[in-house]
């Protein structure tokens, strides 16, 4: 059974070889980017909040999670994580949509697993399913470096968002679309003589003083035609993946080696005839798979179809940094 998620499908579309390293060889990069840590911790914090944790406890939860991550890193990598910690704290502390009374109902972090076609199921996990004024929405939290106009334009065509509406609709919910709550990444630059700590505190203060610049909410509707087109596209994608899994001919896309200003973690093993065993052991964890065979959801994403990302609308697929 092929478990197709947003993330493994997106990886396949971006670079088949990357898909191979991650979902066939099950190699998970050891070093996490600060942006991924920020996304993962922020999502966990919001999940805790919607499950009943007090506002101030969430704040301490986020700080503690980052402290744990920072303690695991080399000193040279700790500064970026420290700044990411202040960004996450600033984002949470000043987040304007914490009034739970404005919703009729909130279900946090909801999984779906629905049949797509023979031998394939679509899996995923939405940030939330919420009801407001009698309508149900997928709730998605995003961070983005894009302007409001750019971000909202991408929301309309987001395959990830459409897939989430498709998944929950197939589970029987009447979903209108996606309620995006998005937070703009800091627009400040680090001063020449500024320490990481000073810079981080300045970012936190900026979230407090300019909330209208940093926070927004956007409703993005999906029609039955959007969902049937998504289904058609996704079945074709699944067919392509199944063919490659059978013949093992995954090819590289060198245009995908750099995203968000960072090189692909598999670059260390992708440009040699045979990956060096020591390099593999040093830079990657070999992820255990549950069922083996073609159950490819794994390597860091469980069945949630995401790798802790709140980057942009569709991570890595449309040039959002
Ligand atoms: S290094 Fe480039 S070609 Fe290799 S897996 Fe990554 S994106 Fe693909």
Residue with the bigger pLDDT between 286 and 271: it is 271
Burial (CB count within 10 angstroms: exposed 0-12, middle 13-18, buried 19+), residue 219: middle
Number of domains in the chain: 1
Residue 279, in any domain of the structure: no
289 inside domain: no
- Is position 169 within any domain? yes
pLDDT at 260: 72
Using CA atoms, how far apart are residues 66 and 35, in angstroms rounded to an integer?
12
Element at 117 (helix H, strand E)? strand 105-117
Quote the pLDDT of residue 303: 35
Q: Is 224 exposed, middle or buried (0-12, 13-18, 19+ CB in 10 A)?
A: exposed
CA separation (Å) from 254 to 16, 30, 63, 164, 272? 11, 22, 37, 30, 14
Q: Concatenate the DSSP letters of all residues of 226-274 into one string.
A: HHHHHHHHHHHHHHHHHHHHHH------GGGSEETTEE-TTHHHHSSSS
Residue 276 sits at φ, ψ, to 5 deg, of: -70, 130
pLDDT at 319: 30
Atom 7 (ligand 1): residue with closest C-alpha?
Answer: 257
d(CA 8, CA 23): 7
Q: Is residue 321 scored above 80 in pLDDT?
A: no
Identify whether 92 is part of a domain: no
Ligand 1: distance of its center to the CA of 276 in Å?
Answer: 16
- Of 254, 265, 269, which is best to mutate to test ligand 1, by the most ligand atoms within 8 angstroms of its C-beta? 254
Q: What is the spatial distance between Cα 305 and Cα 249, in angstroms, rounded to a whole number?
A: 24
Write down the pTM of the prediction. Answer: 0.85
The CA R_g of the chain, rounded to the nearest whole Å, is 20
Is residue 5 a part of any domain in this protein? no
C-alpha 196/C-alpha 114 separation (Å) is 45
CB contact at 8 A, 92 and 214: no
Confidence grade of residue 290 (pLDDT, cut at 50, 70, 90): low
Distance 160 CA to ligand 1 centre (A): 22
- How many CB atoms neighbour CB 109 within 10 A? 16
Q: Is residue 122 part of a domain?
A: yes
Residue 270, ligand 1, Cβ within 6 A: yes
Convert the pLDDT of each residue in 199-238 to its tens digit: 999 999 999 999 999 999 999 999 999 999 999 999 999 9
| Ranges 31-45, 52-66, 286-300, most confident | 52-66
Cα of 59 vs centre of ligand 1, distance in Å, is 37
Q: Residue 39: which of 7, 75, 72, 16 has the closest Cα?
A: 7
- 82, part of any domain: no
pLDDT in tens, 77-102: 789 899 999 999 999 999 999 998 98
CA of 17 to the centre of ligand 1 (A): 6
Residue 208 lies in a domain: yes
Q: In terms of residue numbers, what domain contains 107?
A: 100-230
């Amino acid at each position: 059974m092929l478990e197709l998620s947003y993330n493994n499908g997106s990886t396949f579309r971006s670079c088949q070889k990357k898909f191979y390293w991650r979902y066939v060889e099950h190699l998970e990069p050891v070093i996490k980017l600060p942006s991924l840590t920020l996304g993962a911790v922020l999502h966990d914090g919001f999940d805790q909040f919607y499950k009943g944790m007090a506002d101030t406890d969430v704040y301490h939860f986020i700080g503690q999670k980052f402290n744990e991550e920072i303690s695991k890193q080399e000193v040279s990598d700790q500064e970026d994580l420290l700044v990411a910690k202040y960004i996450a704290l600033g984002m949470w502390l000043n987040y304007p949509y914490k009034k739970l009374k404005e919703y009729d109902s909130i279900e946090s972090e909801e999984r779906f697993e629905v049949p797509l076609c023979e031998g394939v199921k679509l899996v995923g996990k939405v940030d939330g399913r919420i009801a407001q004024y009698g309508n149900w929405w997928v709730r998605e939290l995003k961070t983005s470096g894009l302007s409001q106009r750019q971000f909202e334009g991408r929301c309309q065509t987001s395959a990830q968002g459409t897939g989430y509406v498709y998944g929950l609709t197939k589970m029987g919910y009447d979903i209108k679309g996606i309620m995006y709550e998005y937070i703009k990444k800091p627009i400040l630059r680090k001063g020449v003589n500024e320490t990481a700590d000073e810079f981080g505190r300045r970012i936190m203060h900026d979230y407090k003083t300019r909330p209208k610049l940093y926070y927004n909410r956007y409703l993005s509707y999906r029609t039955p035609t959007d969902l049937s087109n998504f289904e058609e596209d996704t079945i074709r994608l699944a067919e392509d993946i199944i063919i490659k899994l059978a013949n093992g001919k995954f090819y590289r896309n060198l245009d995908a080696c750099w995203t968000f200003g960072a090189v692909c973690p598999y670059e260390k093993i992708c440009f040699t005839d045979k990956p060096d065993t020591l390099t593999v052991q040093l830079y990657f964890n070999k992820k255990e798979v549950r069922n083996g065979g073609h159950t490819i959801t794994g390597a860091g994403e469980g069945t949630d179809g995401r790798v802790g990302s709140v980057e942009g609308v569709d991570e890595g697929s449309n040039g959002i940094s």
